[in-house]
């Protein structure tokens, strides 16, 4: 079977004897161009403002031990066994408490499926809806991991304009109309409404309502990805879009940022038909999510004050956000950046003429790393933007990193 429409990776045809055999969809599986640099950036002397890893050291060991112990004491044999494709019922019951905080009070445990992180949920929903060439609308910019998944299913991904309240109505309307004029339907709109990755922007309450009304009118499914919602700094985030409607929204949640990404537990709240298909899809690919991990999270929720721990995380991230914004103000006052009210990221506009991708090797040489804006677009935009993450480094390291970044930018401007 040949696959002529593969774009040829450097040396791929020569080095990989299976090159001609792969399915056409694998052409969407491309390694990030900056991956090699990030490997260098993980050296301890480099201040990395690049990745988006949570500060897991902020989770006291005792809490995790207590959850492990309780799991093995009470549920050992079950935790070591296969489970159902929809996920552990006891965990799905507990997730109801979590989503109630975000205003979702009309769901039952049967409306939920647990997943192997929300990345898995993004994959599931894409697998369910996307044939090659189908249109997905996303924010400008959008989460790089979702874009990668969408590309791996050969979706036609289209960015929609945003303002400081999130996706614009005019942008979504125009994108739907453009697709229809081409004889295509929009399969779904993917949005990260709270503390967006990469921009840190939060969709306003009014905009949530308007986007939902528009999508109901136009019969477009919304995929609401909300891993950061509980990590607000001052005021809680607005209620989830899913809290306003149960039929047009697939809601994705995760324990990665409020507990640990190592547990790889996320979840989906979906309308009945979609949920049924997702369960079948999970069963056909992995049989069931890990019971061990699901029981661990269940016991964590049952045996610890997890709400207080989320408060602790919020305090930690607020201090880091402040350290980052203060040092940007001090060292790079000529730039502009978003002011996130929660989450892990700020999005920085570079001065005219600077190229975030070209500048990265110099930055890494000067022991600071960031993520170039280009990864968050499918269409080559973002060269004038960088994403800075404040979740992992201590405040002093953040300040050092921004000082180094300021040197790099000033040197580039002097060239
Ligand atoms: N969605 C968004 C917006 C994210 O930022 C991330 C993690 N960086 C994920 C989904 C995936 O998270 P996980 O699979 O760990 O739940």
Place of tokens 């305090």: 315
Peptide bond into 377 cis (omega under 30): no
Alpha-carbon span 159 to 60, nearest angstrom: 40
Q: Sign of the CA dihedral 202, 207, 213, 219?
A: negative
The pLDDT value given to residue 3: 42
Burial of 181 (0-12, 13-18, 19+ CB in 10 A): exposed
Query: What are all long-range contacts of 151-155, with beta carbons under 8 Å and residues at least 24 apart?
Result: 151/28, 151/29, 151/30, 151/378, 152/25, 152/26, 152/28, 152/29, 152/126, 153/25, 153/28, 153/126, 153/127, 154/24, 154/25, 154/27, 154/28, 154/130, 155/126, 155/130, 155/187
> Ligand 1 in contact with 154 (CB < 6 A)?
no
0.90 surpassed by complex ipTM:
yes
The strands making up 371-372's β-sheet, listed across from edge to edge, are: 336-337, 345-349, 385-389, 371-372
- Contact residues for 298 (Cβ-Cβ < 8 A; gap 6+): 71, 75, 88, 90, 91, 94
pLDDT in tens, 198-229: 999 999 999 999 999 999 999 999 999 999 99
Both structure tokens of 107? 């769901």
> Ligand 1 in contact with 130 (CB < 6 A)?
no
pLDDT in tens, 368-377: 999 999 999 9
> Ligand 1 in contact with 225 (CB < 6 A)?
yes
Tell how far the Cα of 118 is from the centroid of ligand 1, in angstroms: 6
Strand 47-48 to 368-369 pairing: parallel
The pLDDT value given to residue 38: 74
The pLDDT value given to residue 29: 82
| Spans of the chain, pLDDT less than 50 | 1-9, 11
H or E element that contains 84: none
Alpha-carbon span 198 to 190, nearest angstrom: 14
Is the separation of the CB atoms in 311 and 386 below 8 Å? no
> Ligand 1 in contact with 199 (CB < 6 A)?
no
pLDDT in tens, 131-150: 999 999 999 999 999 999 99
The pLDDT value given to residue 7: 47
Tell how far the Cα of 252 is from the centroid of ligand 1, in angstroms: 9
pLDDT in tens, 31-71: 776 677 778 778 899 999 998 999 999 999 999 999 999 99
pTM here is 0.95
The minimum-distance atom of ligand 1 relative to the CA of 264 is 15
Tell how far the Cα of 262 is from the centroid of ligand 1, in angstroms: 12
The pLDDT value given to residue 216: 98
CA of residue 218 relative to chain centroid, distance: 26
The pLDDT value given to residue 12: 55
Best residue among 256, 263, 293, 387 to mutate for probing ligand 1's pocket (most ligand atoms within 8 Å of CB) is: 256
């Amino acid at each position: 079977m040949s696959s002529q429409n593969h774009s040829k990776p450097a040396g791929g045809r020569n080095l990989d004897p299976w090159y001609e055999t792969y399915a056409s969809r694998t052409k969407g599986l491309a390694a990030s161009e900056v991956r090699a640099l990030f490997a260098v950036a993980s050296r301890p002397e480099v201040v990395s403002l690049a990745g988006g890893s949570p500060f897991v050291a902020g989770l006291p060991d005792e809490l995790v031990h207590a959850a492990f112990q309780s799991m093995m004491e009470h549920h050992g044999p079950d935790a070591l066994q296969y489970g159902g494709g929809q996920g552990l019922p006891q965990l799905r019951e507990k997730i109801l408490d979590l989503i109630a905080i975000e205003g979702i009070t009309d769901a039952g445990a049967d409306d939920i499926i647990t997943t192997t992180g929300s990345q898995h949920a993004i994959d599931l929903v894409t697998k369910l809806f996307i044939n090659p060439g189908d249109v997905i609308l996303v924010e400008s910019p959008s989460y790089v991991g979702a874009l990668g998944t969408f590309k791996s299913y050969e979706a036609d991904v289209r960015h929609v304009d945003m303002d400081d309240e999130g996706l614009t109505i005019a942008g979504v309307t125009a994108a739907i109309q453009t697709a229809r004029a081409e004889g295509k339907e929009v399969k779904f709109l993917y949005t990260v409404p709270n503390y967006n990755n990469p921009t840190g922007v939060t969709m306003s309450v009014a905009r949530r309502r308007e986007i939902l009304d528009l999508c109901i009118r136009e019969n477009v499914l919304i995929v609401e990805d909300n891993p950061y919602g509980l990590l607000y700094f001052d005021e809680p985030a607005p209620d989830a879009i899913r809290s306003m409607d149960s039929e047009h929204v697939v809601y994705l949640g995760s324990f990665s940022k409020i507990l640990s990404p190592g547990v790889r537990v996320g979840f989906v709240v979906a309308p009945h038909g979609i949920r049924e298909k997702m369960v079948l899809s999970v069963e056909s690919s992995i049989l069931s999510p890990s019971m061990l991990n699901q029981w661990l999270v269940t016991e964590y929720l049952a045996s610890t004050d997890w709400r207080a721990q989320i408060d602790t995380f919020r305090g930690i991230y607020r201090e880091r956000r402040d350290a980052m914004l203060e040092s940007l103000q001090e060292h790079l006052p000529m730039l502009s950046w978003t002011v996130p009210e929660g989450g892990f990221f700020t999005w920085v506009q570079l001065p005219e003429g600077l190229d975030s991708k070209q500048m990265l090797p110099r930055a890494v040489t000067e022991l600071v790393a960031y993520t170039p804006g280009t990864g968050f677009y499918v269409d080559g935009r973002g060269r004038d933007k960088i994403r800075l993450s404040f979740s992992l480094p201590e405040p002093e390291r953040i300040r050092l990193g921004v000082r180094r970044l300021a040197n790099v930018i000033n040197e580039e401007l002097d060239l």
